[in-house]
Amino acid sequence: MEKLNVGIVGCGNISGIYFKTSKLFDVYDIVACADVDIDRAKQRAEEFDIPNVYTTEELLADPDIDLVINLTPPAVHTKVALAALEVGKHVYGEKPLAVTREEGQQVLQVAKEKGLLVGNAPDTFLGAGLQTSRKLIDDGWIGKPISATAFMMHHGHESWHPDPGFFYQKGGGPMFDMGPYYLTALVSLLGPAKRVTGSTNIAFPERMITSKEKYGEKIRVETPTQINGVLDFENGAVGSIITSFDTWHHQLPYIEIHGIEGSLSVPDPNTFGGPVYVRRHDHENWSEIPLTNGFSENSRGLGVADMAAAILKEETPRANGDLAFHVLDIMHGFHDASDSNRHYEIMSKCEQPYPLPVGINQHNFNDLIKF
């Protein structure tokens, strides 16, 4: 059975779940890790029995590594991705693809020139909850989709995060922090967008940290913390999304999709499981739908497995670079529309990801078809 050798660059908090889930999949092995803090890399290697601890340069120079998982901070996503591509390695990165459109385009262009693939988080849309939602739409349970709503609203990170400053700098904010989960889910359910508009605001120009590590320090807010957006999808549906770090409390759903014959309640797109509810026009109540697919637990790394299978079969992965760039383009589009007081016509293109087949589990990714 063929497997890809994978190296992780960036051994921070999010890396733990990647190391853990990699042990479950049959199409790749993590054989090396690297971090600017070599002690942190050594700790992860010992914790998860990883044979090689490298500097980033050493990891990229290892000819046996086929794919690099890039878990560095967003500001250096592009630098690490380009370095990996230049030495002939495929790249799968954490969200977002890049901070700017120009950086994202550069990554995709270099990958194309080198004949390599780019994949990107989030891969939560491949989990049981969102794949069940996709199947319900595809099977016609709510009829043709006509609208969608999405809400990600809370009051920021300064009360609990040990180092929350970067959430309020360029490349941060609620849209770039959490928007990728919601927008990737919407594109996977409805297809790509063609036009967006939005309004943005900074309600609190300065924030005080109340978490223990940096208690009392002030944060200057440099990016919008309230973004209300509208999307026109290519399939004719209209969507609305609110992402906010300025909201104390709310009772709004995560995502709802409304069709000509009913409505669908979609679970938290930052998770892999359910619940999923549907209510058709002739039903008196919402009904919870049993999950049709696997991966209802935290399965970060699922996108890496899908990408590894795609590489082995010379196909395009579902959580691919074009999808990630389309989401990046949309996120910037909301900000641009607000700044220019006009709609933004989406220039990027991507295909709606093909559903993950029912019956696929950790041990049979080599059987994947229909990418």
| Tokens read off for 222 | 């440099």
Q: In sequence order, what are the beta bridge partners of 8?
A: 33, 69
How far is residue 310's CA from residue 117's CA, in Å, rounded to a whole number?
Answer: 9
Q: Does residue 162 have a cis peptide bond before it, meaning omega lies within 30 degrees of 0? A: no
Query: Which amino acid belongs to residue 225?
Result: T
Query: Which amino acid belongs to residue 34?
Result: A
Query: What is Dmax (Cα atoms) for the chain?
Result: 62
Residue 57 CB contacts under 8 Å (≥ 6 apart), including other chains: none
How far is residue 329's CA from residue 229's CA, in Å, rounded to a whole number?
Answer: 13
pLDDT score of 359: 85
Which of 55, 95, 130 lies closest to 323, judged by CA?
95
How big is the CA angle at 312 (ends 70 and 119), to the nearest 5 degrees? 30
Query: Which amino acid belongs to residue 37?
Result: D
How far is residue 75's CA from residue 323's CA, in Å, rounded to a whole number?
Answer: 20
Q: What 3-state class would DSSP assign to 355?
A: coil
Sheet with 52-54: list strands edge to edge.
52-54, 28-34, 4-9, 67-70, 90-93, 118-120
Residue 318 CB contacts under 8 Å (≥ 6 apart), including other chains: 125, 126, 303, 306, 310, 353, 354, 356, 371
Exposed (0-12), middle (13-18) or buried (19+): which is 248, by Cβ within 10 Å? Answer: exposed
Give the pTM. 0.95
Domain ranges of the chain: 4-120, 126-288
222-246 b/e (C-beta count within 10 Å ≥ 16 → b): ebbbbbbbbbbbeeebebebbbbbb
Kindly state the helix (H) or strand (E) to which residue 151 belongs, with its residue range: strand 145-153
Alpha carbons within 13 angstroms on the beta-carbon side of residue 346 total 24
pLDDT score of 1: 60
**How many other CB atoms sit within 10 Å of the CB of residue 162?**
11
How far is residue 46's CA from residue 52's CA, in Å, rounded to a whole number?
Answer: 10
Sign of the Cα torsion 220, 76, 185, 337 reads positive
Q: Superfamily assignment of 126-288 in CATH?
A: Dihydrodipicolinate Reductase; domain 2 (3.30.360.10)
pLDDT score of 170: 85
Tens digit of each residue's pLDDT, the chain (371 residues): 689 999 999 999 899 999 999 998 989 999 999 999 999 999 999 999 999 999 999 999 999 999 999 999 888 999 999 999 999 999 999 999 999 999 999 999 999 999 999 999 999 999 999 999 999 999 999 999 999 999 999 999 999 988 899 899 988 899 999 999 999 999 999 999 999 999 999 999 999 999 999 999 999 999 999 999 999 999 999 999 999 999 999 999 999 999 999 999 999 999 999 999 999 999 999 999 999 999 999 999 999 999 999 999 999 999 999 999 999 999 999 999 999 999 999 999 999 999 998 888 877 777 776 66
CATH architecture of 4-120: 3-Layer(aba) Sandwich (3.40)
pLDDT score of 321: 98
Which of 223, 199, 201 lies closest to 343, judged by CA?
199
| Tokens read off for 333 | 């589009």
Backbone angles phi, psi at 159, to 5 degrees: -85, -15
177-193 b/e (C-beta count within 10 Å ≥ 16 → b): bbbbbbbbbbbbbbbbb
